[in-house]
Structure 1
Amino acid sequence: MNADERCELISEDWLWREKELRTMDYDDLRKKDIVDLKKTILVTYSHWEGHFKYCAELLLNYIAFCVKRKIVKWTDVKEELRLRIIFCCYRKSSLGNQNYDTFIKYLNAVGEQRFSDISDAQDAIIMTDDNLNTSRAESICKNLGVPSFWFSTKKVIIDERILTHRNAFAHGSRTLREGAEISWDDPDLWRSASELRSLIRQTKDQFQNAIQTKSFVE
C-alpha cells in the first residue's frame, strides 16, 4: 500500500470511531446516570488507545515497506529511530538470543543499507500490551518520529482523570487506585472525556501527516 492508501485506512478507522462517539452527548454528561457516565469514559478511552495504536502500526509498516522496496534506505531513516527500533528488536528477541553476538549484530545493523526486521518488534515499538498513558504515547511517537506536542501537555486529562477512572471501572472498583472515592459530579472529569475525543481526531491528523511527509526520514 502506498501513502495515500494508508492514510485512507486511518480516515476510515477514525470515522467509525467518531460515529460511535457522536452518539454520546458530551455536553450533557452530568445529567446522565452513573452507568452512562462509566460507558462514556470506557468507550472514549478505548477509542483513544485503539486509534492511536492502529495509526502507529500503519506508520511502522509503512517504514518497513519503504525500506524493503528501496523507496528509502535504512540509513535514510533518522538515526534515533533506527536505534530505538533496533533496541526494540533486541529486547523482543528470545532470552536465549539476548547475547553478545546478537547485540553486536543489531548494533551493526544501524549503519546497514537495509534492515528487514523492522516489523518483528511491532509489539515492543507500539507497546501493544500496555494501557496508553502519556509517557507510553510519547515513547511510541519517539520510536516512529511523530511529534507529541499535541498531547504531551494533557497528562492530567489522560492519566489522572480518564485512565485512572477507566481502570477503576474496568476492574469493578468503587474507588480509584489510591483509594480515593470517585466523584461523579466532578465537571473536570466529563470535560476531560470531551477533550480526549478531540485528541483522537488529532491522532489521525498527526499520523497521516507523518506518512505523507515521511517524517521518519532525515
Structure 2
Amino acid sequence: MRYDQFENYLDTDLAWRKKEISELLLLAKTSNKEVLLKSLILLLYAHWEGYIKKSSKLYIKYVSEEKIKINDLSSNFTAIVLKSQISRCIEESDSLTLANELSFINGYLKKINKRFKIKIDPDKDLDKDIIDTQSNLKPKVFKSIVDIVGLDYKTSIETREHYINSNLLANRNCIGHGSPFDHTNQLDFSLTLKDIEKLKDIIFSIIDNYREELLDYVNNEFYLSVNEVKRKSYTLKKDKELEKLFSQIESV
C-alpha cells in the first residue's frame, strides 16, 4: 500500500461519515424533534467507533505490507505478533512449571528477526482479533487501541474522559437500549442542538487528530523504534494542538 492510497482510504472513510452527521444535523435544525436529536447521538457514536476501528486496522495493514523486521519496529508490533502466546501464558499462569514462560521466550527469540506480517481485513467489522472496540468505545477502550497501534494517549483527551463517558457513551447506551432520554441525570448536557453540536465537535476533533497522526506516523516512519525520540516530541506538539482546539470549542 502506498502512502497516497493509505491517505485516500482514511479520507474516503471519514468523508461519508461526516456527510451523514451533517445531513442529520441539518434535519434536526429544521425540525428540532427529540427523535432526531437522539438519532444524532446514536449516529455520532456509530461513526466514532467505526472510524477508529477501521483506520486502526488500515494502519496495521500498512505497516504489515512494509515488510519490516519486528525487531526494528516499536514494541507494540511485537506484542501484536506474540498476542496468542501472551494469552496462553496468562491463561495458564497457575502452572507450577516454567514451561509456558520458556515457550514464550523461545517464540519471541524466533520471531524478532522475522518480518512483521499480520493478516488483517479493515473491512471485516466482526474481526476483533487485534482491534476490539468491545462494542462500547469508551475512552478506556480507546486508550487500549491507541496503545496497540503504537500512538500515545493524550492528556488533553484524558482530562475529558468524564465528559465523553457521560455525554456520548452513557446517553448512547440509554437510547440504544430503548430507554427514554434521562433529562434529570445529566451534567452540563441537555438534548439541545447546541450541546449535541459541541459533543460532535469534541468527538470529531479526536477523530481528525487520530487521522492526522496515523498519516504522520506513516510519513515520518514513527513506527520504527529508531524514531522513538522524534515520536515523543511530535506527540507533545499534537497534544498541545488538541488541547487548544478543545478549549476553543468549550469556550463557545
Could you tell me whether the CA contact under 8 Å between 1:24 and 1:40 is conserved in 2?
A: yes
Partners of 1:151 and 1:109 in 2: CA distance: 38
Could you tell me whether the CA contact under 8 Å between 2:48 and 2:207 is conserved in 1?
A: yes
Could you tell me whether the CA contact under 8 Å between 2:138 and 2:164 is conserved in 1?
A: yes
Partners of 2:209 and 2:48 in 1: CA distance: 10
Cα deviation digits, residues 138-190 of structure 1 (max 9, x gap): 111111122332633331232121011111111102366xx947953596555
Q: 1:82 aligns with which of 66, 70, 77?
A: 77
Equivalence for 2:218: 211
Q: Relative to structure 1, is the Cα distance of residues 17 and 119 closer, same or farther in structure 2, using a 3 angstrom cutoff?
A: closer
| Greater mean alpha carbon deviation, residues 9-18 or residues 185-194 | 185-194
Cα deviation digits, residues 13-45 of structure 1 (max 9, x gap): 11111111222448x76x822101111101111
Cα deviation digits, residues 69-124 of structure 1 (max 9, x gap): xxx22111013x1343145333677x99998275344433463333445749x724
Equivalence for 2:232: none
- Partner of 1:132: helix, strand, or coil? coil
Equivalence for 2:250: none
Q: How big is the alpha-carbon RMSD for the aligned residues of Structure 1 and Structure 2? A: 3.5
Equivalence for 2:208: 201
Equivalence for 1:137: 142
Q: Relative to structure 1, is the Cα distance of residues 11 and 164 closer, same or farther in structure 2, using a 3 angstrom cutoff?
A: same
Equivalence for 1:162: 168
Partners of 1:185 and 1:3 in 2: CA distance: 41
1:146 aligned to 2:154? Answer: no
Equivalence for 2:179: 173
Equivalence for 2:237: none
Q: Which runs of 5+ in 2 are unaligned?
A: 94-98, 122-126, 226-252
Give the alignment's TM-score, normalised by structure 2. Answer: 0.68
Could you tell me whether the CA contact under 8 Å between 2:70 and 2:78 is conserved in 1?
A: no
Q: Relative to structure 1, is the Cα distance of residues 32 and 90 closer, same or farther in structure 2, using a 3 angstrom cutoff?
A: farther
Could you tell me whether the CA contact under 8 Å between 2:69 and 2:112 is conserved in 1?
A: no
- Partner of 2:166: helix, strand, or coil? helix
How do residues 64-103 of structure 1 correspond to structure 2 at under 5 angstroms? 64-67=64-67, 72-79=68-75, 81-90=76-85, 100=100, 103=104
Relative contact order: is structure 1 or structure 2 higher (C-alpha 8 Å, sep ≥ 6)? Answer: 1
Partners of 1:107 and 1:6 in 2: CA distance: 30
What is the identity, as a one-letter code, of the residue corresponding to 2:73?
V
Deviation at 1:51, TM superposition (A): 0.8
Partners of 1:9 and 1:55 in 2: CA distance: 8
Equivalence for 2:113: 112
Partners of 2:221 and 2:119 in 1: CA distance: 16
Equivalence for 1:14: 14
- Partner of 2:157: helix, strand, or coil? helix
What is the identity, as a one-letter code, of the residue corresponding to 1:212?
N
Q: Relative to structure 1, is the Cα distance of residues 64 and 97 closer, same or farther in structure 2, using a 3 angstrom cutoff?
A: farther
Could you tell me whether the CA contact under 8 Å between 1:92 and 1:124 is conserved in 2?
A: no
Cα deviation digits, residues 41-81 of structure 1 (max 9, x gap): 011111111111111000111121112xxxx22111013x1
Partners of 1:37 and 1:200 in 2: CA distance: 21
What is the identity, as a one-letter code, of the residue corresponding to 1:192?
L
Partners of 1:38 and 1:114 in 2: CA distance: 47
What is the identity, as a one-letter code, of the residue corresponding to 2:140?
S
Identity across matched positions, percent: 23
Could you tell me whether the CA contact under 8 Å between 2:77 and 2:116 is conserved in 1?
A: no
Q: Which has the higher Rg, Structure 1 or Structure 2?
A: 2
Give the alignment's TM-score, normalised by structure 1. Answer: 0.77
Q: Relative to structure 1, is the Cα distance of residues 16 and 137 closer, same or farther in structure 2, using a 3 angstrom cutoff?
A: same
What is the identity, as a one-letter code, of the residue corresponding to 1:77?
L
Deviation at 1:199, TM superposition (A): 2.5
- Partner of 2:23: helix, strand, or coil? coil
Q: Relative to structure 1, is the Cα distance of residues 171 and 153 closer, same or farther in structure 2, using a 3 angstrom cutoff?
A: same
